[in-house]
Amino acid sequence: MQRLGEHLRKQRSNKGISQEELAKLSTVNLRTIQRIENNETSPRKSTLELICDALEIESSSINSIESLNHGKSLSTIIIHYIFLFIINILLMGIVGYLTLDSEATFHSRIGAYLLSFFIPCFIVFFTQKLTSGERLLKYGMGYIFYVISVFYVMPFGNAWFNGIRLGLFPCILISQAVLFYGERLLPKN
């Protein structure tokens, strides 16, 4: 797999142009070109178009190479999913502790309702590029596993009764709804 910087360096070399000449032709800073060719940075779309125009190559041919550069390594994907798992457990642990704990009070349950709204709002704000379904799958799976574990620990009838009475299920419903519909709360650009 050829990386974008290597491809651009090869195209520049084939044309017999130095990095300094490319910087002058494309009006892109020399250091930026060096970083791109060394795969230290990914160029902005406008910068890539300037370089492609100077090299007389079509930027559409570069798009496939650029999309490969955005691929993630296996270790990055594993670390990403480990952190997603931890975040899901933390989210549910907070809400579960505030609602189901034997020492939970009225005030802690109110806190659980507020956190069930504001934490997903925070997630929605920082994951605006995700679709509603992707966001719900990534950050809402902990709730599903938590509900399953509640039913595993408590008898079926007690789980429903306590889950509704103590506020766990309404908190889960609020969180899931905000994760799915939360982008409607964001201001339009």
Tokens representing 110? 């109110």
What confidence tens digit (pLDDT) does each residue in 174-183 have? 988 998 998 8
State pTM to two decimals: 0.55
Residue of 175, 186, 181 whose CA lies nearest to 114: 175
Residue of 163, 170, 165 whose CA lies nearest to 115: 170
Give the C-alpha separation, 86 to 89, whole Å: 5
Whether 72 and 9 have beta carbons less than 8 Å apart is answered as: no
Give the C-alpha separation, 160 to 165, whole Å: 8
Spell out the domain ranges in the chain: 4-69, 74-185
What confidence tens digit (pLDDT) does each residue in 48-101 have? 888 888 888 876 666 655 554 455 567 877 888 888 888 888 888 888 788 777
The predicted pLDDT at position 159 comes to 60
Whether 164 and 111 have beta carbons less than 8 Å apart is answered as: no
What confidence tens digit (pLDDT) does each residue in 153-165 have? 776 666 666 666 7
Residue of 97, 188, 174, 186 whose CA lies nearest to 140: 174
Q: Does domain 4-69 match CATH 3.40.50.300?
A: no
